[in-house]
């Protein structure tokens, strides 16, 4: 065989420029790499969106649970306050002198504590 019929090292026929063949091969490899990178980026984006939506749903569920708990606690505190208020009013009507002395003592104690 003659040298003109042998393929060069890049697989091109001897009539073609080996640098053009290498350039075409490099461009093809770069395009394949770009396509693979784009596909991976889309996969990562999709996974991140799925994880974010899962976190959002979990956070909304927990917030609802805490909101419900806070509402129950507030309702219980309001009921307890109403009971204490009615008992204090009843005590003040039945024993006004003791109620005044108790209020004075509590006020004096709070004043001394806050003073320090």
Torsion, Cα 84 90 93 99, to 10 degrees, reads -40
d(CA 28, CA 32) in angstroms, rounded, equals 6
Residue 107 has pLDDT above 60, yes or no: yes
Q: How far apart, in Å, are the Cα atoms of 66 and each of 53, 73, 76, 81? A: 20, 10, 15, 22
- The answer to which of 9-13, 60-64, 84-88 has the lowest mean pLDDT is 9-13
pLDDT confidence band for 14 (50 / 70 / 90): low
With beta carbons less than 8 A apart as the criterion, state whether 10 and 16 touch: no
Q: pLDDT > 70: what percent of the chain?
A: 87
d(CA 42, CA 35) in angstroms, rounded, equals 11
d(CA 82, CA 61) in angstroms, rounded, equals 32
Q: What is the structure's pLDDT at 116? A: 76
* Domain layout of the chain by residue ranges: 8-115
Q: Which two tokens mark 99?
A: 């109620």
pLDDT confidence band for 16 (50 / 70 / 90): confident
Q: What is the structure's pLDDT at 1? A: 44
């Amino acid at each position: 065989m003659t040298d003109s019929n042998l393929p060069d090292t890049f697989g091109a026929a001897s009539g073609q420029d080996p640098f053009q063949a290498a350039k075409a091969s490099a461009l093809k490899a770069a395009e394949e790499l770009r396509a693979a990178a784009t596909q991976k980026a889309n996969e990562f984006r999709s996974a991140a969106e799925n994880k974010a939506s899962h976190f959002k749903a979990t956070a909304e569920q927990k917030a609802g649970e805490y909101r419900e708990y806070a509402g129950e606690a507030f309702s219980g505190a309001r009921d307890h306050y109403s009971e204490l208020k009615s008992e204090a009013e009843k005590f003040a009507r039945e024993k006004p002198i003791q109620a005044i002395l108790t209020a004075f003592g509590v006020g004096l104690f709070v004043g001394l504590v806050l003073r320090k």
